[in-house]
Amino acid sequence: MPTGPSRESAALVAIACGLAWLSPLRSSADEGDAAAPARAVVEKYCLSCHKGEEADGGLDLVKLMAKGSPSSNRKPWRRVKENVEGGTMPPDDHPQPSEAEAGALAAWIDAEVEKAGCDGPVDPGKVTVRRLNRAEYDNTVRDLTGVDFRPADDFPSDDVGYGFDNIGDVLSLPPILMEKYLAAAEAIASRAIDVGGDGEPPVKVYEGDDLGAAGGSPHHDDGRMLSSDGEVAVTHDFPRGSEYVARIVAYGQQAGDQPARMELRLDGRPLRTFDVAAVEGAPGVFEHRLRAPAGRHRLSAAFINDYWDPNHPDPSRRDRNLIVRSIEIQGPFRGPGDEPPPGHALILVNRPTKPEEFGDCAVAVLERFLRRAYRRPVTGGEVAKLVRLAELARENDESFERGIQLAVQAVLASPQFLYRVELYRPKRDRKGKVIDQPNGVPLSHDEVASRLSYFLWSSMPDDELFRLADEQKLHDPAVLEGQVRRMLRDPKSEAFVANFAGQWLQLRNLDAASPDPEQFRAFDEPLRVAMKRESELFFAAILREDRSLIDFIDADYTFLNERLARHYGVPGVSGEEFREVKLPTRERGGLITQASVLTVTSNPSRTSPVKRGKWVLEQILGSPPPPPPPDVPALADDSKGPLVGTLRQRTEQHRANPSCASCHARLDPPGFGLENYDAIGAWRERDGGLEIDASSEMPTGEKFRGPAELKAVLRSRKPEFARTLAEKLLTYALGRGLEESDACAVDKITKATADDGDRLSRIVLEIVKSDPFLRRKG
């Protein structure tokens, strides 16, 4: 199971030598004979390192004796077996158990873990109240209000746990985020609903730190000063395509024979030029009416006639500068042909035709809106509070639309919208006493609808899911399967590709990759975009077209446009459009040969067998290595003298350090197998003038030469990969780290997947029908 943001990952490598084995080995007389060989292996090969306060990896086997038998500790025991069979412990410089000894230990673990069984009560796991992350917030706002302008771009980044940014335990709510929520709620409500009427359109004033400056001095006592050609700019959310008025309050420090000159620009496009003859103490107001499209756009005031004469006899006339005190934007102004924003009709499903209908219409509008915003049935009291808020607008002689706009703003800042809450509904006997339910309690149908939609769409349920929830049908396996298939066909499932695959494959890191431009001149923005898109389309095809998950390891096809095909040396592909391409050789095919993965697992100036090997261990085999000891130098800083030769040869010199050897024995082999790809994923035969050696041997004994044979080794470990992928998908679906009690669900998911031709879609379907997905701890 994924170990998440704890120290458990470091310990799990070390547990190949023991973790909690001693307690069951001595627990009862009837187990004694079966346990004796395993106990002997532990005592002979493990206790020298794993006991006491100084136990390696923080793993004190003596303290772990109280944890009980493997039947109650399935998760660590599975990892124990993997490391025993993989030969990763004890370290190479320690005495090694024979094949028979290791086999006896592994067999005993199998027997003990099997005793746990999955036929009895299984706890479906805890539920943490989860805040919407940034992607979920943007998508939910879009589907709820019709407003699609990514307000969460201004929010702080979400914390990550267990490899994903939708984990409830780490999604905190810092004060700055609450401030952002309040501002976003106002902006969204304004964009969603056209208040109409003859009143003055709203005004937004930017001043002080709201003003961004490029060129000249960033700060001035009276605003922003441009002492050389540059601009002061703001990014404004224009609610809809319409007319607006921009007002710039500015003045000049005058010099030369011209006044300071200012150019107003929208997204860099000049709109109008002003002569700013105003001076300090009497700034001018410069106004322009413009038409702007809906969305976030950059409005700037640019200084375009800088002047400097150090020899002028009057010091006050030597330097011409522009000072911008504020930028004001008013609108939208309703113009001929202007249509209300899309959210207007989506939200305002009813409108009063006479004053006495105000209350009833407000109830109809807000009851429907609240049902969708809170993603559950709402009470009359909840609706009444918002209707009262809307009525306050009427009391102030404002329109019905304005009243609904205020209510929508309040809803968008409420915890019921910002959080996904799954309530505990205990079963009680006739006397009201809670009945123990060891299998947990089922989620409500509305909660299942939300789990489905946020799993596959990163957004709220649609009308069909709400209907099925109202009809109490979302615990029916056939209905669930039909909905999953429908939802995966929907374009909104692109969010699942971007958010799950983007984090599992670490594609998000590609945005920050910065290969050395001197060494890798082929790398540019179009190539970066193409790398990412290849992996997204590859994942989507395997998911939506019922292809085998083994294609992730090795496939004879991929998705290319001309730019990426040229990078790969694949002929016959022209144009910017991506298409599925049959690969001519086995140099490519599968995730580990895709440029996106190869680039994010490289350093800026060279490849990194260690990073690539770590990626394979974590994302494919589910066997993460521990962090390196704190006193081990990085490859480039090895203290034993200069390292020479190919990168492989330098890495082997580095691992000669005993502190490095045990981890590198696991990390390096898959990384060496990918050395024919440079730091941006291009094929190469030589490194630094020397021929590349891409051969190696896995700790489990499989030998290979190059990426094609490495892929064959990984294919042979399909069960490990299938389990790893199932665990990662279940973690993402639940928004929490997996627990010991989830092991049975993962067993069922992987078995059903194997029985259905190893289809990725089957993993998704079985997750949705699993107890951890449909139930919660009682």
CB 256 within 8 A of CB 311: no
> Which superfamily, per CATH, for 203-333?
Galactose-binding domain-like (2.60.120.260)
Q: What proportion of the chain, given as a percentage, has pLDDT over 90?
A: 64
* Helix, strand, or coil (residue 238): strand
Say if residue 522's pLDDT is above 60: yes
Cα–Cα distance for residue pair 712/207, rounded to 1 Å: 62
| Distances from the Cα of 292 to the Cα of 251, 268, 515, angstroms | 26, 13, 38
Pairing of strands 130-131, 419-420: antiparallel
Cα–Cα distance for residue pair 194/342, rounded to 1 Å: 10
Say if residue 226's pLDDT is above 80: yes
Say if residue 639's pLDDT is above 60: no
Highest-pLDDT range among 126-130, 354-358, 664-668? 354-358
Q: What is the dihedral of CA 509, 522, 616, 561, to 10 degrees?
A: 90
The pLDDT value recorded for residue 51 is 75
> For 77-135, how does the pLDDT look when each residue is reduced to its tens digit (9 = 90+)?
666 667 767 666 777 677 888 888 878 877 877 776 666 667 777 788 888 899 999 99
Residue 573: phi and psi, rounded to 5, are: -120, 120
Q: What is the mean pLDDT of residues 304-323?
A: 92
Say if residue 186's pLDDT is above 90: yes
Highest-pLDDT range among 498-507, 622-631, 689-698? 498-507
Say if residue 701's pLDDT is above 50: yes
More confidently predicted of 656 and 300: 300
Cα–Cα distance for residue pair 400/392, rounded to 1 Å: 10
Long-range contacts of range 477-483, CB-CB < 8 Å, 24 or more positions apart? 477/769, 480/452, 480/765, 480/768, 480/769, 481/765, 481/768, 481/769, 483/452
- pLDDT level of residue 416 (50, 70, 90 thresholds): very high
- Cβ neighbour number for residue 407 with a 10 Å cutoff: 28
| Distances from the Cα of 547 to the Cα of 276, 367, 637, angstroms | 65, 43, 45
Q: What is the mean pLDDT of residues 667-687?
A: 96
The pLDDT value recorded for residue 95 is 84
Say if residue 642's pLDDT is above 90: no
Q: What proportion of the chain, given as a percentage, has pLDDT over 70?
A: 83
> For 560-590, how does the pLDDT look when each residue is reduced to its tens digit (9 = 90+)?
999 999 999 999 999 999 999 999 999 999 9
| DSSP conformation class of 57 | G
The pLDDT value recorded for residue 654 is 56
The pLDDT value recorded for residue 208 is 87
- pLDDT level of residue 1 (50, 70, 90 thresholds): very low
- pLDDT level of residue 633 (50, 70, 90 thresholds): low
Say if residue 3's pLDDT is above 60: no
CB 21 within 8 A of CB 84: no
The pLDDT value recorded for residue 493 is 98
Helix (H) or strand (E) holding 285, with range, is strand 284-292
Non-local CB neighbours of 166 within 8 Å, separated by 6+ positions: 130, 133, 136, 158, 454, 458, 499, 732, 735
Residue among 390, 205, 223, 204 nearest 321 (CA)? 223
The pLDDT value recorded for residue 126 is 82
Residue among 716, 693, 694 nearest 620 (CA)? 716
Name which of 33-47, 328-342, 463-477 the model is least confident about.
33-47
Cα–Cα distance for residue pair 300/599, rounded to 1 Å: 37
Cα–Cα distance for residue pair 109/119, rounded to 1 Å: 19
CB 177 within 8 A of CB 134: no
- pLDDT level of residue 700 (50, 70, 90 thresholds): confident
Cα–Cα distance for residue pair 554/587, rounded to 1 Å: 10
**How far apart are the two ends of the chain, measured CA to CA in Å?**
23
CB 735 within 8 A of CB 168: yes
* Helix, strand, or coil (residue 433): coil
The radius of gyration of the chain's CA atoms, rounded to the nearest angstrom, is 31
Say if residue 431's pLDDT is above 90: no
Average pLDDT of the residues of the chain: 87
Helix (H) or strand (E) holding 244, with range, is strand 242-253
* Helix, strand, or coil (residue 637): helix
Q: What is the mean pLDDT of residues 48-77?
A: 63
Burial of 752 (0-12, 13-18, 19+ CB in 10 A): middle
List the beta bridge partners of residue 307.
Answer: 320
> For 270-285, how does the pLDDT look when each residue is reduced to its tens digit (9 = 90+)?
999 999 999 999 999 9
Say if residue 727's pLDDT is above 60: yes
Cα–Cα distance for residue pair 408/396, rounded to 1 Å: 18
Residue among 428, 475, 415, 426 nearest 449 (CA)? 475
> For 462-496, how does the pLDDT look when each residue is reduced to its tens digit (9 = 90+)?
999 999 999 999 999 999 999 999 999 999 999 99
| Exposure class string for 117-133: b at 16+ Cβ within 10 A, else e | eeeeebbbbebbebbbb
| Distances from the Cα of 137 to the Cα of 181, 235, 319, 494, angstroms | 10, 20, 49, 16
**DSSP percent split of the chain into helix, strand, coil, nearest 5:** 45, 15, 35
Helix (H) or strand (E) holding 442, with range, is strand 441-442
* Helix, strand, or coil (residue 775): strand
In the chain, domain spans: 8-114, 125-194+345-421, 203-333
> For 529-551, how does the pLDDT look when each residue is reduced to its tens digit (9 = 90+)?
999 999 999 999 999 999 999 99
Q: What is the dihedral of CA 744, 749, 752, 756, to 10 degrees?
A: -160
List the beta bridge partners of residue 329.
Answer: 204, 246
- pLDDT level of residue 28 (50, 70, 90 thresholds): very low
